[in-house]
Chains A and B, each alone.
Chain A
Amino acid sequence: MSRVPLPYNPKILELFRHPKNLGKMKDATVTAVAGNPTCGDMIIFYLKINDEDVIERASFESYGCAANIATSSIVTEMIKDMKLEDAWKISWKKVIEAVGGLPSVKFHCGILAVGALKRAIRAYYQNKESSPSWLSEELTFEEKQALEEEELAKMISKRMKKEGRK
């Protein structure tokens, strides 16, 4: 039987209730933001990276829906002790699989989480002299999506101002 999947399977609900690695990281090596509160979704990712380019710790903060919270949470777990090169390969599809699936309306929440991760990795190498060959210059799908959402938010805010909102 096919039916519209519910946004919240047990795994998501569990991660929503007890998110892992929640909160600001004071000694983070890099921090990245994705999304915009205008759209109702915004994430901050914090990574602690060691000299071997391995993620020692990751944490997040999220202004978003339960799917957003759950996917962010699972990403921080997936990338712990991972080499940046491997973390870079994580796609939004893998993340959605890891939380047990999401309906299509909630895909963007998971994409945003991965977008924040990739931005963090990119930012990390921006501060270095050279970046590794696996780091594509072109934005990844997730980074592009995050950018698109941010642009949309900007457009909406601009339109509202133009309409002379009080």
Chain B
Amino acid sequence: MFEHVKDLLKAHEGLKHEVYLDIENSSMVPKEVVEAMLPYFSQYAYGNPTLTHKPGWEAFEAIMESSQKIAKFLGCKVIEEVNFAPGETEVNNLALMGAAFTMKGKGKKIVVSEIEPLSVLHVTDLLSKYGFTVVKIPVDGEGFINLEKLADVVDKETILVSLSAVNHEIGTIEPIKEALEIVKDENPEAIFHTDASDAYGKIPFNVQDLNVDLATLSSYKILGPRGIGVLYVKEGVKINRILEGQIGTQKLWPGVENTPLIVGFAKASELAFKDFEGNVRHMQRLRDKLIDGITGKIVDVRLNGPKGDKRAPDNVNISFLRCEGEALTIELSLNGVYVSSGSACTRRLLQPSHVLVAIGRKFSEAHGSILMKVTRCHTEEDINYVLEVIPKAVERIRGITGSVEMK
């Protein structure tokens, strides 16, 4: 196993501790969740839920039960509002394209913010090639959307507005409720979508309170398995499918349902909500310990995004000046701390994170950014270890930068 990367792995041998903080890009699945999923692969409920035999009926029951659990945590009216699809990218594609194509006759304008995830922005880029007009709302230095600009832009031509509830990179908790009121005041018919992947299980998020039309959830962001997500669709709101094929229990996503992953997502939700307040406080404590530890110990660093209650409880995003992010992520990996960076060098494009650029960070600041997310499963010891490793890693990489000048 791992034949091709064995040299890379060897360089990691003898680590005294390892801490995975790259929850933005994938996550470890806790034992309880794996155990909940396992029997659904080969013991029971492995059938197609729409077919008339025992393993199918079992699968049907498992999927309905999972929908019910997630519906409850979301505050849905009916469980039909919960639609499973394979992950945040697919769900955002479904939400945006599905809504745009349904509303096509009513107008052409789609409104998003500059800091939406790429699974929103790249879809709107595509839609603009099909005759839709896409308007991007700017954000301020902490990533809050400009509500005045939103009010200016939304009009009767606007068919769809998509704004994340929590920004995936810098943790800004957006004023979604106010945004929705502005949108519906201008045009009650416009569909309001929110990517809530970083909100669900992290901040109070109730679809009925908020009254959004569509909301995206991602399983792995709450330590469920990858490859599964949910599109909440408010009762009465209609959107088109974007794939065609055999329809099973999920009317918006044809194909055979992945029962084990659905069960895993429901289980991860249960664990996140079992002691929601406690989990949030725990994450906040670790987040602040990490932020304070870094900003207190290392010079020339900048926190990206807001502080305190306006920030998601799990998000830490810090720019280390004179420190190229890709080199830093590797140095951290070699010391057992796994994170990601907004540096251009970690991407195939020559441009750094669009979110950091949108909040006015200089390119050299964005290249030195590190994104980390803590979870309910991380411990104080984990954070202590990270705080031991980061200053040394930053010092070493800054030593390589030497006198290279940042403009």
Contact = CB atoms under 8 A, between A and B. Distances in A.
Interface string B370-407: 00000000000000000000000000000111111111
Interface in B113-170: 141
Contacts of A23: 399, 402
A66 B333 CA distance: 12
Interface stretch (B174-182, B235-243, B274-282, B343-351): B343-351
Interface in B161-217: none
A40 B363 contact: yes
A159 to B, nearest CB: 11
B368 to A, nearest CB: 9
Interface in A6-20: 6, 8-10, 13, 16-17, 19
A98 interface: no
A96 B8 CA distance: 19
Contacts of B401: 61-63
A44 B403 contact: yes
Contacts of A157: 363
B252 interface: no
Contacts of B402: 22-24, 44, 61
Contact of B345 (A22, A24, A65): A65
A109 B345 CA distance: 9
Contact of B367 (A37, A66, A160): A37
A165 B4 CA distance: 44
Interface of A: 3, 6, 8-10, 13, 16-17, 19, 22-24, 36-44, 61-66, 68-69, 105, 109, 149, 152-153, 156-157, 160, 165-166
Interface of B: 4-5, 7-8, 10-11, 141, 322, 324-327, 330, 334, 343-346, 348, 350-352, 357, 360, 363-364, 367, 399-407
26 contacts: A3-B4, A8-B330, A10-B11, A17-B11, A24-B402, A24-B403, A36-B407, A37-B364, A38-B364, A40-B324, A40-B326, A40-B367, A44-B402, A44-B404, A61-B402, A62-B401, A63-B404, A64-B327, A64-B345, A65-B326, A65-B343, A66-B327, A69-B327, A149-B350, A152-B350, A166-B360
